[in-house]
């Protein structure tokens, strides 16, 4: 069996950043395995701009952003296999994959970085009544059809879900000549970034119906329309508020699910809220030497954060390989108070924090005029005003090694949202 020091599963932005960082940290024996026909992951279909403002201080399209990282991989001559599906990973890090040239093959990895991204929640998860007519797509599938395959899914469109992909597809379909009748959102707030609401809906006069959902899909062979109703505080449709919208296409943008079948099968402990692995301060899963980053770990809003997080995972994987197996000590669980739904990492061993540690989280509802605070035991080490926080936008605090140095007997780490 081939031996490789670090195997990266998935060649999207997370996988590419992890590979480059591991290489720069001194491990040259790396293999990226990617099931698609090219590197770059989902960014290849995101042809709109707005990527890379933080990483490159430039506004790039998704493919341009991905290309920058592909070039870095190529400059370092990091090997990768395309059209190669990883089928299985064992807890002792044997990776089984297959492609047309090599058939089924196995690689014994010294460390693994899981970067398989996420997939979209489908109509099946919503239990919407109606037949299964043509014209019902996930927004990401429509994005790929329009931007990569050159197919237009329909002419009159309703979009359910106001996450970023739904918002971006509302604009994209409009620019391609379709009439987007509305975007319906079951929650009283949008799940997308504010800038996307302005640039993708308001600039094109596309109505956003908050607290509304699709309660019926009409049509047998092809979608002919949908019924949209208002929902109450318990998200239940309010009888008498139904309105029919004729359309030939329904795009669903109703959430992303981290792609963790491989992680679960290998026995990685999962975090219930994110649907991704539970990781410690090194982004290491419950299996020593197996790291995770990007959308497979938790769904990100901006790819810049994916790249930052994955670079950290890559460096940590390199340190693992260079330093050999280090016994995992149970870390301090990160306590959440006043609004955060989850944190990544979810445990921290203070003794292992050598560099600035970014703790990322999302809040569960829209919050205005609050402070984000970080407590080490009783001491408040971070207290930052946030005029608005929303579930669609990721928040972060940066824990510095010098903060931890003042707390040698640390017992509690808490991320709190506090009233102004
Ligand atoms: C449909 C869609 C549209 C999006 N649009 C935007 C946007 O407009 N703007 C934005 O900032 N963010 C967008 N995002 C979020 C975007 O996914 C992230 O910013 C970023 O691409 C995540 O990087 P990643 O590497 O974690 O995942 P991905 O980009 O999804 O990459 C994961 C890679 O892993 C590969 N893979 C998965 N399983 C296997 C396996 N078993 N074997 C081998 N390879 C495997 C996949 O083929 C893929 O290439 C979108 C996400 C989706 C799903």
pLDDT tens digits, 253-309:
988 899 999 999 999 999 999 999 999 999 999 999 999 999 999 999 889 999 999
| Residue bearing the CA closest to ligand 1, atom 30 | 117
Distance CA 227, CA 182 (A): 12
For residue 125, pLDDT over 70 is answered with: no
Which residue, 161, 152, 197, 206, is CA-closest to 179? 206
Please give the pLDDT value at position 123.
Answer: 65
Q: Say yes or no: CB of residue 36 within 6 Å of ligand 1.
A: yes
One-character DSSP codes across 298-326:
S--S-HHHHHHHHHHHHHHHHHHHHH---
- As a whole number, mean pLDDT of residues 375-394 equals 93
Of ligand 1's atoms, which has the minimum distance to the CA of residue 13? Answer: 25
Which residue, 392, 394, 395, is CA-closest to 166? 392
Select from 34, 36, 42 the residue to mutate for testing ligand 1; criterion: most ligand atoms less than 8 Å from CB: 42
Helix (H, G, I), strand (E, B) or coil at 162: coil
For residue 407, report the phi and psi dihedrals to the nearest 5 degrees.
-130, 70
Query: How many angstroms is it from 41 CA to the middle of ligand 1?
Result: 5
- What is the domain-level CATH number for residue 24? 3.50.50.60
Please give the pLDDT value at position 192.
Answer: 85
| Max CA pair span of the chain | 67
For residue 213, pLDDT over 70 is answered with: yes
Q: Say yes or no: CB of residue 61 within 6 Å of ligand 1.
A: no
Please give the pLDDT value at position 10.
Answer: 98
In whole angstroms, what separates CA 380 from the centre of its chain? 30
Distance CA 265, CA 91 (A): 9
The answer on 115 and 259 residing in a single domain is yes
132: confidence class by pLDDT, cuts 50, 70, 90: confident
Supply angle C-alpha 411, 417, 419, rounded to 5: 125
Given the structure tokens 């491989």, which residue do they identify? 262
Distance set, CA 247 to CA 156, 195, 252, 293, 378 (Å):
5, 27, 14, 39, 57
- As a whole number, mean pLDDT of residues 119-141 equals 82
Which residue, 77, 4, 21, is CA-closest to 316? 21
The answer on 245 and 132 residing in a single domain is yes
The answer on 380 and 281 residing in a single domain is no
* pLDDT tens by residue, 317-370: 999 999 865 666 789 999 999 999 999 999 999 999 999 999 999 999 899 999
Measured in residues, the chain has a length of: 420
Q: Is 303 left (phi over 0), alpha (psi -120 to 50) or beta?
A: alpha
The answer on 274 and 155 residing in a single domain is no
Whole-model pTM: value is 0.93
The answer on 287 and 246 residing in a single domain is no
The answer on 414 and 338 residing in a single domain is yes
The count of domains in the chain is 3
* pLDDT tens by residue, 66-89: 999 999 999 999 999 999 999 999
Q: Say yes or no: CB of residue 312 within 6 Å of ligand 1.
A: no
The answer on 269 and 223 residing in a single domain is no
Please give the pLDDT value at position 50.
Answer: 86
5: confidence class by pLDDT, cuts 50, 70, 90: very high
For residue 221, pLDDT over 90 is answered with: yes
The answer on 135 and 221 residing in a single domain is yes
The answer on 260 and 197 residing in a single domain is no
Residue that is last in its domain, among 206, 228, 254: 254
Across all residues in the chain, what is the average pLDDT? 94
For residue 205, pLDDT over 90 is answered with: yes
Of all helices (H) and strands (E), which one includes residue 180?
Answer: strand 179-185
Residue that is last in its domain, among 254, 287, 313: 254
| Residue bearing the CA closest to ligand 1, atom 5 | 165
Residue that is last in its domain, among 254, 283, 310: 254
Domain range for 140 is: 122-254
Which residue, 103, 69, 71, is CA-closest to 87? 103
Please give the pLDDT value at position 330.
Answer: 81
The answer on 186 and 37 residing in a single domain is no
The answer on 261 and 232 residing in a single domain is no
CB–CB of 238/148 below 8 Å? no
The answer on 259 and 383 residing in a single domain is no
Select from 7, 11, 12, 52 the residue to mutate for testing ligand 1; criterion: most ligand atoms less than 8 Å from CB: 12
Distance CA 244, CA 237 (A): 14
Paired residues of 383 in beta bridges? 373
Which residue, 136, 365, 125, 43, is CA-closest to 233? 365
DSSP 394: -
């Amino acid at each position: 069996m081939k031996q490789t020091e670090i195997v990266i599963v998935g060649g999207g932005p997370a996988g590419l950043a992890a590979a480059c960082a591991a290489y720069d940290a001194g491990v040259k024996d790396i293999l990226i395995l990617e099931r698609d026909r090219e590197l770059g992951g989902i960014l290849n279909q995101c042809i709109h701009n707005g990527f890379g403002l933080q990483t490159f201080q430039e506004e790039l399209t998704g493919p341009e952003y991905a290309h920058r990282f592909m070039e870095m991989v190529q400059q370092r001559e990091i090997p990768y296999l395309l059209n190669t599906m990883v089928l299985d990973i064992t807890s002792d890090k044997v990776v089984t994959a297959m492609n047309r040239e090599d058939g089924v093959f196995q690689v014994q990895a010294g460390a693994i970085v899981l970067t398989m991204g996420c997939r979209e929640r489908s109509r099946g998860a919503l239990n919407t009544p109606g037949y299964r007519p043509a014209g019902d797509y996930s927004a990401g599938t429509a994005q790929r059809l329009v931007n990569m395959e050159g197919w237009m899914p329909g002419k009159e469109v309703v979009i359910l879900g106001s996450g970023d992909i739904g918002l971006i597809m509302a604009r994209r379909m409009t620019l391609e000549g379709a009439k987007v009748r509305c975007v319906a959102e079951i929650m009283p707030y949008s799940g997308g970034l504010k800038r996307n609401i302005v640039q993708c809906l308001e600039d094109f006069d596309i109505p956003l119906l908050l607290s509304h959902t699709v309660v019926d899909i009409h049509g047998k062979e092809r979608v002919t329309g949908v019924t949209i109703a208002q929902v109450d505080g318990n998200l239940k449709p309010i009888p008498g508020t139904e309105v029919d919208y004729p359309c030939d296409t329904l795009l669903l943008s109703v959430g992303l699910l981290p792609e963790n079948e491989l992680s679960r099968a290998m026995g990685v402990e999962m975090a219930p809220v994110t649907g991704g692995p539970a990781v410690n301060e090194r982004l290491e899963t419950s299996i020593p030497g197996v790291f995770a980053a990007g959308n497979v770990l938790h769904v990100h809003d901006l790819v810049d954060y994916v790249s930052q997080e994955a670079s950290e995972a890559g460096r940590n994987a390199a340190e693992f390989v260079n330093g050999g197996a280090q016994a995992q000590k149970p870390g301090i669980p990160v306590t959440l108070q006043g609004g955060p739904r989850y944190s990544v990492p979810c445990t921290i061993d203070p003794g292992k924090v050598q560099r600035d540690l970014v703790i990322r989280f999302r809040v569960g509802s829209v919050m205005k005029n609050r402070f984000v605070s970080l407590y080490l035991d009783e001491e408040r080490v971070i207290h930052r005003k946030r005029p608005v926080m929303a579930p669609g936008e990721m928040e972060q605090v940066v824990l510095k090694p010098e903060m931890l140095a003042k707390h040698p007997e640390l017992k509690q780490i808490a991320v709190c949202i506090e009233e102004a």
